[in-house]
Amino acid sequence: MMKLKQQDTRDYLENLLDYANAPIIVWDPEFRITRFNHAFEHLSGRNENEVLGETLDILFPDDRRKEAMANIHRTMAGERWRAVEIPILHKDGTVRIALWNSATLYAKNGTTVIATMAQGQDITERKQTEQRLAHLNLVLRAIRNVNQLITREKDRDKLLQSICDTLIETRGYHHAWIAFFDESEELVSTAEAGLSEVFISLTERQEHGDMIECAKMALAQPEVVIIDEPALICSDCPLRKEYNGRKAVTVRLEYNTKVYGLLSVSVPAPLASSRDEQTLFKEIAGDIAFALHDIKLEEERTSIENNRLKLLDELERSNSELKDFAYIVSHDLKAPLRAITSLAEWISADYCDKLDEDGKEQLSLLLNRTRRMHNLIEGILEYSRIGRLKEKKDEVDLMALVREVITMIDPPENIEIEIVDTLPVIICEKTRIGQVFQNLLSNAMQYMDKPKGKITIQCTKDQKYWKFTVMDNGPGIEKRYFEKIFQIFQTLKPRDEVESTGVGLTIVKKIVEMHGGTIGVESTVGEGSTFFFTIPKEKKK
């Protein structure tokens, strides 16, 4: 009866052990497995018949076996585990993580160890969640660090290298590399971290347009490309041995549909398929692409600015040379011109009675030509002075100024000059604006073809500009000459018919534009012309 009770108890305990929710394993002093339950079978993927009598080391992954066996050996000295983390290698090759508590079983003498029993708690999912959260925190930290680099570093090559260094330091990637391409997908520069010399081979291939498989796939699509087994799939890739069980994750660097290059890293296998991981990885790639876009724009802006400064320098040098040229030519021409004029006047005075009519006419023509040449030289000099010799802008009463100009040019009796209403007080260079009115009025008088000429001066205004008009009832101008008349040395009639240097309106245009205004003309042939120009409104400083 006693034996039956003992048997019943033993069977009860056996069933309790076999069907316990927690994995339980028992081993002898030689570390051979003597017993484990169904929960342990589920944990390891092995049945009892496969492992009974085998040593414990078959249960552990290679990289953790030594550490696990060291913990087990300590139980032989009586140490009891309390929540000791030991991994178990599942039959399918995956690794399960469990927390273990242990108890040492002794013989009746109380000192001889006859077995050790351990009970575990599978925490694999919890560990994976912790690892995933820890990794995502690293990702967020990496994003922050990358953004700080983007804000701080404006040198493209230094930025790309710093980003690669940050990705492996902050996120724990085994390696990272970036390739930057131009518009034709030609390799411009690269950066890497964790690869060293092996990356040179990859760079050399890409320089010759020979892309590795993950690069080809990433350039062809906007999504993240994951290569599960780079060593097998990318058999010709120089980096294939560097992954060591990790996955290759590659994405193109794209901003506003423009692709700037590639970002590639090696990621632990469990994390590569995470949607969160891919989303954050793509976000980093987007930040890098934006930085490359911004640097490209800055390079273009700098280039444009440098070209602008270069052009301004060349223009300034050219203008200086033109001014010098104008003065030198004018000076060199004036001396012989004065000699010719003096000689012609001397001949005219001393030999007039000895010249026939044809000779007198030729001499008169010579004097007219020298005067015209003198006026032309003075016009060139005046044109070159505008903008170089600047007068201080001040309040100018145009009503008083225009009246002074009219008095100075002394219009003939058959020409009437009328000022409509009152002209304003404006901020300008008095002498230059006086030249504008003088030249416009003189032109209108010079070309007047009517017995009774009428010239009208008027001013209107808007929010930003004063608009002045000088209207006459002269011969008018054909539309095809509206722009030509403002070009230097251009006249509408031969100089023998109307004495003109062709510089006056060019001077007017230059003065108006120097003040920030515009000038133009409207005309009807036979009825007259209206010249109009604007001067910006300014407040006295």
CA distance 159 to 168: 15
First to last CA, the chain: 123
Distance CA 81, CA 118 (A): 8
Dump pLDDT digits (tens) for 258-271.
999 999 888 877 77
Give the count of alpha carbons within 13 A of 459, CB side only: 19
Q: 97, 131 in Cβ contact below 8 A?
A: no
The two structure tokens encoding residue 337? 């011109």
Give residue 137's Cα distance to chain centre: 30
SS3 string, 94-155, reads CEEEEEEEEEEEECCCCCCEEEEEEEEEECHHHHHHHHHHHHHHHHHHHHHHHHHHHHHCCC
d(CA 402, CA 459) in angstroms, rounded, equals 12
Question: According to CATH, what is the number of the domain 390-536?
Answer: 3.30.565.10
Counting beta carbons within 10 angstroms of the beta carbon of residue 235, is it exposed (0 to 12), middle (13 to 18) or buried (19 or more)? exposed
Summarised one tens digit per residue, pLDDT across range 292-342 is 888 888 888 988 999 998 888 887 777 776 666 666 666 666 667 677 777
Residues 6+ apart with CB under 8 A from 175: 168, 192, 193, 194, 195, 239, 242, 265, 266
Question: What's the CA gap between 250 and 176, in Å, rounded?
Answer: 10
Nearest alpha carbon to residue 284 among 301, 304, 265, 306: 265
Residue type at 491?
A: T
Check for a shared fold between 2-122 and 390-536: no
* CATH assignment, 129-301: 3.30.450.40
Cβ atoms of 510 and 522 within 8 Å: the answer is: no
Query: Cα angle at 435 between 518 and 340, to 5 degrees?
Result: 125
Pick one of 3.20.20.140, 3.40.50.2300, 1.20.58.60, 3.30.450.20 as the CATH number of 2-122. 3.30.450.20
Per the CB < 8 A criterion, the answer to whether 539 and 525 are in contact is: no
Domain-wise residue ranges, the chain: 2-122, 129-301, 390-536
Q: Which of 287, 266, 283 is nearest to 149 (CA)?
A: 287
Full pLDDT tens readout for the chain, 541 residues: 444 454 555 555 576 677 788 999 999 999 999 988 889 999 999 988 888 899 999 999 998 999 999 999 988 888 889 999 999 999 998 999 999 999 888 888 888 888 899 999 999 888 888 877 877 777 777 778 888 888 888 888 998 898 888 888 876 678 888 989 888 778 888 898 888 788 887 788 877 777 888 888 888 888 888 888 877 777 778 787 787 778 888 899 999 889 999 998 888 777 777 787 788 888 888 988 998 888 888 888 988 999 998 888 887 777 776 666 666 666 666 667 677 777 777 777 777 777 777 777 777 777 777 776 666 666 666 666 665 566 788 899 999 999 998 988 888 999 999 999 889 999 988 888 988 998 899 889 988 889 999 999 999 988 899 999 999 999 998 888 888 888 865 665 544 444 555 677 888 898 899 889 999 999 999 999 999 999 998 876 6
Q: Element (H or E) spanning 437, and its range?
A: helix 430-446
List all residues 6 or more positions away from 389 whose beta carbon is below 8 Å from its beta carbon: none
